[in-house]
């Protein structure tokens, strides 16, 4: 791809959403600065958060609405850090205004939204990507190294899981219609990890879900996310992947991801990993700390892509893959049958 800018500094960045739950707006703009790009504007519905953005980045433009920012600001890259159901409409709005877009994960809620966003970006000749910072988590970088070393043999199954028995929260993540469901938060990261390990086409997805246990207790009532949801993904190379996210498991499972191969198994959590290899009667267990995450690589690649024409690592087609799995899992849970994958 031809470079769009002659230097990273020419990439002027607006963030939409400067929320207080994890202070993600500040984290994004700090990495933007590290990559040599220029923080230019913050758009936020909550005036108290705009005041914090001004303290963090003195002189930054502030806006209460995206329309106003698009009309008045010279920002040429917009980063969306808002609740999940706003990603697709806001991205389409920014693309229509000729801006490059980075969307927080999940890319969107449905496959159709992803396809619309990809088509609109192609038509407008702008770049769109998703902030899959956890592509560079130490745990998955270590797992890739172990899998590629052949220590585990041929990969047979990957199991990703997270959660325990606790009531969904009253912030927007607890709402099915706003968040997309229990699978759409950390589940997207776990799928993105798993898809790095399973290099094969998705054939079909079966989804299962339980709703209604916590619903009467939350502010969202019938719109509360699932108590638990589970997906099984079949890949063309024969590997299968499971994802379980739960708010009802009184016996939470060890680790975040487990990989089972013909020669050995690997499991990991954020900090550490364990490799178990059995030969004859001898079982060898190797434990280790995961390397440090390298989230700054994400915006370094965006800057290199836009200013030097380097290949984009997190392409929209890549970001569509976990969403397609989640969309199919949702449809499958509702219809009670496996649903075939669709490659646009
Ligand atoms: N990649 C990661 O590691 C990571 C970590 C945390 C959150 N996230 C993602 O970041 C996104 C936001 O999550 P959060 O925890 O920061 O939520 P949050 O509620 O703290 O922040 C969202 C902010 O967006 C603002 N907002 C909503 N609609 C808006 C609009 N139309 N215009 C301007 N502002 C608007 C809200 O006022 C709020 O302050 C989600 O997609 C979430 O999944 C990613």
Model pLDDT, residue 344: 47
Contact 130, 105 (CB under 8 A): yes
DSSP state of 243: E
Q: Which residues pair with 230 in a beta bridge?
A: 208, 244
Is residue 105 within 8 A of residue 83, CB to CB? The reply is: no
Q: Give the distance (Å) from ligand 1 centre to CA of residue 42.
A: 13
Look at residue 1 in the predicted model and tell me its pLDDT.
Answer: 75
Residue partners of 85: CB distance under 8 A and separation at least 6: 109, 177, 178, 179, 180
Peptide bond into 251 cis (omega under 30): no
* Mean per-residue pLDDT, 119-125: 98
What does the block give as tokens for 46? 């909550």
Q: Over the stretch 134-148, which tens digit does the pLDDT of each residue have?
A: 999 999 999 999 999
The predicted-structure confidence for 17-65, as pLDDT tens digits, reads as follows 999 999 999 999 999 999 999 999 999 999 999 999 999 999 999 999 9
Mean pLDDT score, 124-137: 98
Verify whether ligand 1 is closer than 6 Å to residue 43 (CB atom): yes
- Ligand 1, from 48, 62, 81: best to mutate by most atoms within 8 Å of Cβ? 81
Ligand 1 centroid distance, CA of 25 (Å): 8
Query: To 10 degrees, the CA torsion angle through 20, 87, 235, 274?
Result: -10
What whole-number percentage of the chain has pLDDT above 90? 99
> Any idea which residue has 């758009």 for tokens?
43
Residue 154 confidence class, pLDDT cut points 50, 70, 90: very high
The chain-wide mean pLDDT, for the chain, equals 97
Query: For position 276, what pLDDT does the model report?
Result: 98
Half-sphere exposure of 97 (CA within 13 A, CB side): 20
Average pLDDT over residues 207-222: 98
Nearest to 101 by CA among 23, 14, 220: 14
**Domains of the chain and CATH, by start:** 8-134+295-312 (3.40.50.720), 136-293+324-340 (3.30.360.10)
Residue 24 Cβ contacting ligand 1 at under 6 Å = yes
Pocket flag, ligand 1, residue 84 (CB < 6 Å)? yes
Q: Is the pLDDT of residue 190 over 60?
A: yes
By most ligand atoms within 8 Å of CB, the mutation choice from 15, 16, 17, 138 for ligand 1 is 17
The predicted structure's pLDDT at residue 186:
98
Going by pLDDT thresholds of 50, 70 and 90, the confidence category of residue 278 is: very high
Q: What pLDDT score does 147 carry?
A: 98
pLDDT at 273: 98
Q: Which atom of ligand 1 lies closest to the CA of 64? A: 33
Find the 86 Cα to ligand 1 centroid distance in Å.
10
Give Cβ neighbours of residue 216 (< 8 Å, ≥ 6 apart).
Answer: none
Q: Look at ligand 1, atom 24, and give the residue with the nearest C-alpha.
A: 17
**Alpha carbon of 3 to ligand 1 centroid (Å):** 30
Supply 294's token pair: 């390298």
pLDDT of residue 2: 84
Q: Is the pLDDT of residue 223 over 60?
A: yes
Q: What is the per-residue pLDDT for 82?
A: 98
Closest atom of ligand 1 to 66 CA is 32
Structure tokens at 210: 């339980």
Decide: helix, strand or coil at residue 272: strand
Asked if the model's pLDDT at residue 343 lies above 80, the reply is no
Tallying the residues shown for the chain, one arrives at: 344
With contact defined as beta carbons under 8 Å apart, do 76 and 39 qualify? no
Do you find a cis peptide bond into 30, omega within 30 degrees of 0? Answer: no
Q: Answer yes or no: is the C-beta of 133 below 6 A from any ligand 1 atom.
A: yes
Q: Give dist(CA 257, CA 1) in Å, integer.
A: 35
Smallest CA separation from ligand 1 atom 17, residue: 19
Amino acid 214: pLDDT: 98
């Amino acid at each position: 791809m031809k470079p769009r800018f002659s230097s990273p500094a020419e990439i002027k960045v607006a963030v939409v959403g400067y929320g207080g739950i994890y202070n993600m707006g500040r984290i994004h703009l700090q990495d933007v600065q590290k990559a040599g790009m220029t923080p230019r504007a913050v758009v936020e519905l909550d005036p108290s958060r705009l005041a914090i953005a001004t303290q963090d980045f003195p002189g930054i433009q502030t806006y209460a609405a995206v329309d106003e920012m698009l009309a008045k600001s010279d920002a040429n890259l917009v980063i969306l850090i808002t609740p999940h159901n706003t990603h697709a409409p806001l991205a389409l709005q920014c693309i229509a205004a000729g801006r490059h877009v980075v969307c927080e994960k999940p890319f969107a809620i449905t496959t159709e939204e992803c396809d619309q966003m990809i088509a609109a970006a192609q038509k407008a000749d702008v770049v769109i990507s998703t902030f899959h910072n956890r592509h560079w988590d130490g745990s998955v970088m270590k797992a890739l190294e172990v899998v590629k070393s052949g220590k585990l043999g041929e990969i047979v199954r990957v199991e990703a899981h997270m959660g325990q028995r606790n009531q969904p929260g009253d912030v927007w993540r607890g709402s099915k219609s706003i968040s997309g469901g229990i699978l759409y938060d950390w589940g997207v990261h776990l799928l993105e990890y798993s898809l790095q390990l399973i290099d094969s086409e998705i054939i079909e997805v079966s989804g299962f879900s339980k709703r209604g246990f916590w619903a009467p207790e939350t502010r969202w009532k019938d719109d509360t996310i699932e108590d638990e949801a589970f997906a099984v993904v079949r890949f063309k190379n024969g590997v299968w992947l499971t994802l379980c996210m739960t708010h009802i498991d009184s016996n939470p499972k060890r680790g975040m991801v487990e990989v089972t191969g013909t020669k050995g198994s690997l499991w990991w959590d954020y900090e550490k990993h364990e490799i178990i290899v059995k030969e004859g009667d001898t079982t060898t267990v190797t434990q280790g700390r995961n390397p440090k995450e390298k989230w700054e690589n994400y915006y370094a690649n965006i800057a290199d892509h836009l200013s030097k024409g380097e290949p984009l690592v997190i392409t929209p087609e890549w970001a569509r893959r976990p969403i397609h799995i989640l969309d199919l899992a949702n449809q499958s849970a509702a219809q009670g049958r496996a649903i075939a994958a669709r490659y646009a």
